[in-house]
């Protein structure tokens, strides 16, 4: 039987941090399932880029992770495309303010769904494939999982659950599957960065001991460490925030 490729599914992989993670994993000879929901042009462009570098090494799949049928279909296609799966990166995440007195049930369903429910059920659906491959799960948490971000109460609750999901899955799926998390700080400005004034950005940077915003590659490199160079690490959440969590 020919050697099967290492295969990774990255949710929300079309752009920003997800795309950078995809490029790093591809350079490490992973074949990639590039999941997206709304960002089809970016997903297709990324797949073209990676397939030009290595033929038949990247596939795009569209899915709404808050729809259980679409989630299950994504898991099935991802695990069957190259006859296995060795890495799941739960990167997709909704993020927006929900002031306590104005938050709606739909806000709750969306934020809990993308940040907690979807990672749980993807892990459940892909556990057999990951177990067979002695693979890994990486969850993208947040420094606000432990200390809440004002006016983002539902998001903070969801990421707190994501942190516990990481620890719980590490216990449930041991010894064959390692499960770890990454808690980013200020890595990229929000996509609505035009709403942040230069003064706002300066105030945010002033709270970071390293006095600078991180880069998407900082997260990608942390993931590569956990996947390739940390065989005795599971159930941990690695904070990559320039020291910001020291001053929250």
> What tens digit of pLDDT does each residue of 111-127 get?
999 999 999 999 999 99
Reduce the DSSP state of residue 107 to 3 states and report it. Answer: helix
Catalytic (active site) residue 155: yes
pLDDT tops 70 at residue 142: yes
pLDDT tops 80 at residue 24: yes
Give the model's confidence band at 191: pLDDT under 50 very low, under 70 low, under 90 confident, else very high. Answer: low
- Candidates 96, 144, 155, 225; catalytic one: 155
CB under 8 Å to 66, separation ≥6 — which residues? 109, 110, 113, 114, 117, 118
Task: Check residue 170 and give its pLDDT.
Answer: 98
| CA separation for the pair 234, 107 (Å, rounded) | 32
Give the model's confidence band at 196: pLDDT under 50 very low, under 70 low, under 90 confident, else very high. Answer: low
pTM of the shown model: 0.94
pLDDT tops 70 at residue 193: no
Give the model's confidence band at 194: pLDDT under 50 very low, under 70 low, under 90 confident, else very high. Answer: low
- Name the more confident of 189 and 47: 47
pLDDT tops 80 at residue 3: no
Strand order in 30-36's β-sheet?
58-62, 30-36, 6-10, 87-90, 136-140, 178-184, 237-240
User: pLDDT by residue (tens digit) across 29-79?
Assistant: 999 999 999 999 999 999 999 999 999 999 999 999 999 999 999 999 999
pLDDT tops 50 at residue 1: no
């Amino acid at each position: 039987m020919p050697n099967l490729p290492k295969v990774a599914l990255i949710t929300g992989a079309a752009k920003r941090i997800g795309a950078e993670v995809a490029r790093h994993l591809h350079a490490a000879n992973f074949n990639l399932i590039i999941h997206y929901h709304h960002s089809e042009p970016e997903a297709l462009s990324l797949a073209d880029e990676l397939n030009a570098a290595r033929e038949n090494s990247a596939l795009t799949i569209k899915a709404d992770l808050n729809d259980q049928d679409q989630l299950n279909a994504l898991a099935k296609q991802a695990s069957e495309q190259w006859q296995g799966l060795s890495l799941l990166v739960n990167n997709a995440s909704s993020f927006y303010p929900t002031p306590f007195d104005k938050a709606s049930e739909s806000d709750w369903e969306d934020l809990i769904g993308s940040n907690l429910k979807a990672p749980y059920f993807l892990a459940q659906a892909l556990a057999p494939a990951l177990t067979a491959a002695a693979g890994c799960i990486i969850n993208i948490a947040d420094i606000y999982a432990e200390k809440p971000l004002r006016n983002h109460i539902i998001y903070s609750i969801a990421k707190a659950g994501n942190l516990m999901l990481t620890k719980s899955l590490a216990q449930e799926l041991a010894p064959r599957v390692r499960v770890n998390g990454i808690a980013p700080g200020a890595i990229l400005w929000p996509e609505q960065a035009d709403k942040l004034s230069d003064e706002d950005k300066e105030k945010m940077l002033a709270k970071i001991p390293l006095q600078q915003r991180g880069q998407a590659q900082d997260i990608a490199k942390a993931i590569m460490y956990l996947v390739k160079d940390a065989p005795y690490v599971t159930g941990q959440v690695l904070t990559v925030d320039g020291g910001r969590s020291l001053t929250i």
